[in-house]
Structure 1
Amino acid sequence: MDPLFNTTGAPIGATSAPNTTNNGTEYWNQFVQPVWRIVLWAIAYSCIVIVSVVGNVTVIWIIMAHKRMRTVTNYFLVNLAFAEASMSAFNTVINFTYAVHNEWYFGLVYCRFHNFFPIAAIFASIYSMTAIALDRYMAIIHPLQQRMSSTETKVVVAVIWALALLLAFPQYYYSNTDEQPERVVCYIEWPKYTIFDFETMYYVCVAILIYFLPLMVMGWAYLVVGLSLWASEIPGDSSDRYKEQLTAKRKVVKMMIVVVCTFAVCWLPYHVYFLLHQFFPDMFLERFIQQVYLFIMWLAMSSTMYNPIIYCCLNDRFRAGFKQAFRCCPFVPRGSYEGLELKSTRYLQTQTSVYKASRMETSVSTVLQVGDDGDQAKPKVVTATSSGSTVLNSSLDLTSNGSSSHSVSKTVSETSSFYSSNNLHD
């Protein structure tokens, strides 16, 4: 994972500061920094861990604890949140400690895990985003085709993790520790082949598979989806439901585009650093490279904390869930939350409209009553009053073919259907 420590010699980016032991033997102490700089970096990395773990665990709770949130897209968001929280918890602090002290304190087993797990977590994260992009593409561009079921989604998640572990396995297999004078280092001892450079080939493949290729796929998918959702105007006679659905789809796609762009910006410097290290290793012997590496690693690790913030800002249901999760905090306003179901703002507005409509006097049906003398049926209208009682009105004049009755019934039916099915995903 860390190109600074992948060689058995002096680590890339080491700043050399000579020190003398009691017996007069001189050794080189790399990565010497003033205390104030270490404290600032420690605060920066600690913020990543706290925000990432708390935020992503909350996202998992919001989705798994509420039935209405268990959609195909959200299952992939659970996988994304799990990968990011795990990488932040298990690797961020260790990365920082090793980069600052240049000494490995955690043993061989964790050395292998330290080099192995980040590759797998990044793979799982970006391919979860790719799966969401393809799912959005199918739902919007090919709406008549069958969507993935819950079981199929879980199978896709399992396949993503299987491929992630397979790609990261060489990092685990070739990891080792070495006890040098005054310190222990964790490194990757790549095999040497005369035909090709295995290390360079592996890192180039990793950069392509976990960054450039999925970003190209997602860029193409969201470009097509964006043109479909934003390029065409909404028809003037479209129903309110159609406009609601279109707005909801746009919000989901907009949120995921922000997530993908954030990931791309955060990890681009790291992959560039990786590739430059493979082809121009002499550049990384400069004294300043340690600070460059600490910043690049911080930026890459910080990608794990942005997604919960994006969900909260751009999605009504996640915002309601976060308000519920942190309702005990004094600075968190009370949100709209009903039982175990999260309600979007639009849904609550719809329910308010239904409630207000029920308070008004509205004709809901016609009742035909036939007299005992067999006379022609007279139309009677059931009227709901604000007090909840009903009044029969027989003075309504209907046309002979019953068209007005049909129109009233149709209107009431369409209205009920709209309000009962208006639980749109944000």
Structure 2
Amino acid sequence: MAGLLQTNVSLKNISVEQYELHSSCQMSPSVQHQNVLIPTIYSIICILGVLGNGLVVFVLSHSSSRKTVANTYILNLALSDLLFVLSLPFWAVYYSFDYDWIFGKLMCKLCGGLLTLNLYASIFFITCMSIDRYMAIVHPLKAQRCRNVCRARVVSFIVWFAAGLASVPTLIFRDTLAIGDVNACVIQFLSPSWFVGFALMKNILGFLLPFAIITSCYCSIGKHLLTAPGLDKSTSNLDKVLKMVGAVVLAFFFCWFPFHMLTFLDVLVSLKVLQLCSVSNIISLGMPFTICLGFSNSAINPFLYCFVGNHFREQLGGLTQTLSLGSSQKRGSFSTRLSSFTRKLSDLRDLSPLENEAV
């Protein structure tokens, strides 16, 4: 069955016409044991994503110091990633059943909508955090006037609304479709032009524009830290900030660039700019794995933005101390183990004295 559906019709926004176009080529055999490998990867991402993002949401929701601009964006980012990774078990079962969707039309739309919602919301919140860090470090005086929690909440609402609006086509057009002897969960656009427009919107709004903003912000931060007067350029704190800057940009790029590159190639195939079956084979074989790579960003985000951050560790430590005092008689309790984990995290050096609330 994996040979029948060479392209991941569940997760790739593909029209019926687009599926027929790929099917006209003599497709290369699918990766061996793909129906085992992909669900395994999804399961790992789901477990790490639920643990990481769940802990972030728990800590920031109960911490007395949660009302900061940075924490507002981090909390919303974690909520977006958590909602999405909770849908991964459905996609894992879908792969293991060789693209046979057994959960019905409503769950097909809902899981597809969560996928698209997270694709936009996650990247938009990362972009907001990048701009916030840029303002806090490069323009601290101006940031004191314009950075406040109320404004961050308004921006967060706008991000959720924009991401939800971008997910509407998925909710409308995604449906179950009988292909061969399976019921696939696909997007059935009215014409190939709808697919082209939807794919280009993902490329531009979901990658190119946010990546340009993120890169510009962190390049400016790095330049400021290297050239600002009064900063010791040899300090380990500065070195760690620069490494963090590089990690943020590289993680974003390497997680999402392969997926968006194959999506753009698929657009070229749809427009018949590329009519090589070899390109269609590359798209069909590579798309499931580039999707896995993109999804892994939801598991990486909490570790990248929170657990390496000094202020989040302080909030986690304060919260676990409170929990430990409330249940001191239970030495083997979850709070005790969490406190031990916090102490290990606290052994890491501070990220930066310059970001008073950025992480």
TM-score by length of 1: 0.64
Contact 1:6-1:187 at 8 Å conserved across structures:
yes
The size of the alignment, in residue pairs, is 321
Contact 2:225-2:231 at 8 Å conserved across structures:
no
- For 2:338 and 2:63, how far apart are their aligned partners in 1? 24
What residue is the counterpart of 1:277 in the other structure?
266
- For 2:12 and 2:231, how far apart are their aligned partners in 1? 55
Identity of aligned residues (%): 23
Q: For residue 266 of structure 1, what is the amino acid of its counterpart?
A: C
Q: For residue 311 of structure 2, what is the amino acid of its counterpart?
A: R
What residue is the counterpart of 1:317 in the other structure?
311
Contact 2:199-2:264 at 8 Å conserved across structures:
yes
The yes-or-no answer on 1:189 pairing with 2:155 is no
Per-residue deviation, 1:41: 3.4
Q: Deviations over 1:202-230 (max 9, x none)?
A: 21122101110011012112222221122
What residue is the counterpart of 1:374 in the other structure?
none
Q: How does 1:297-336 map to 2 (within 5 A)?
A: 297-311=291-305, 314-319=308-313, 324=320, 328-329=336-337, 332=340, 335=343
* Higher RCO (Cα < 8 Å, 6 or more apart): 2
**Which structure would you say has the larger Rg?**
1
Contact 1:15-1:31 at 8 Å conserved across structures:
no
The yes-or-no answer on 1:107 pairing with 2:124 is no
What residue is the counterpart of 1:215 in the other structure?
211
Q: For residue 116 of structure 2, what is the amino acid of its counterpart?
A: I
Q: Considering fraction of residues, name the structure with more strand.
A: 1
Unaligned runs of 5+ in 1: 18-29, 237-242, 347-421
Per-residue deviation, 1:277: 1.4
What residue is the counterpart of 1:360 in the other structure?
none
Q: How does 1:266-415 map to 2 (within 5 A)?
A: 266-280=255-269, 282-283=277-278, 286=281, 291-311=285-305, 314-319=308-313, 324=320, 328-329=336-337, 332=340, 335=343
Q: For residue 205 of structure 1, what is the amino acid of its counterpart?
A: M
Q: For residue 317 of structure 1, what is the amino acid of its counterpart?
A: H
- For 2:284 and 2:218, how far apart are their aligned partners in 1? 37
The yes-or-no answer on 1:261 pairing with 2:269 is no
Q: Deviations over 1:56-104 (max 9, x none)?
A: 11112222222234320121011111111211111x3333333441211
What residue is the counterpart of 2:115 in the other structure?
118
Aligned residue among 7, 12, 15 for 2:16: 7
The yes-or-no answer on 1:155 pairing with 2:163 is no
- For 2:312 and 2:291, how far apart are their aligned partners in 1? 29
- For 1:93 and 1:16, how far apart are their aligned partners in 2? 31
Contact 1:5-1:12 at 8 Å conserved across structures:
no
Give me the CA root mean square deviation. Answer: 3.9
Contact 1:124-1:160 at 8 Å conserved across structures:
yes
What residue is the counterpart of 1:83 in the other structure?
80
Contact 2:218-2:245 at 8 Å conserved across structures:
no
Q: How does 1:131-210 map to 2 (within 5 A)?
A: 131-145=128-142, 146-192=145-191, 197-210=193-206
Determine helix, strand or coil for the equivalent of 1:70: coil
- For 1:320 and 1:190, how far apart are their aligned partners in 2? 49
Unaligned runs of 5+ in 2: 1-9, 271-276, 324-333
- For 1:69 and 1:345, how far apart are their aligned partners in 2? 22
- For 1:120 and 1:334, how far apart are their aligned partners in 2? 32
- For 1:8 and 1:423, how far apart are their aligned partners in 2? 51
Contact 1:251-1:315 at 8 Å conserved across structures:
no
Per-residue deviation, 1:47: 0.9
- For 1:11 and 1:309, how far apart are their aligned partners in 2? 41
- For 2:85 and 2:44, how far apart are their aligned partners in 1? 11
Determine helix, strand or coil for the equivalent of 1:144: helix
What residue is the counterpart of 2:54 in the other structure?
57
Determine helix, strand or coil for the equivalent of 1:186: strand
TM-score by length of 2: 0.75
Per-residue deviation, 1:318: 3.1
Determine helix, strand or coil for the equivalent of 2:267: helix
Determine helix, strand or coil for the equivalent of 1:67: coil
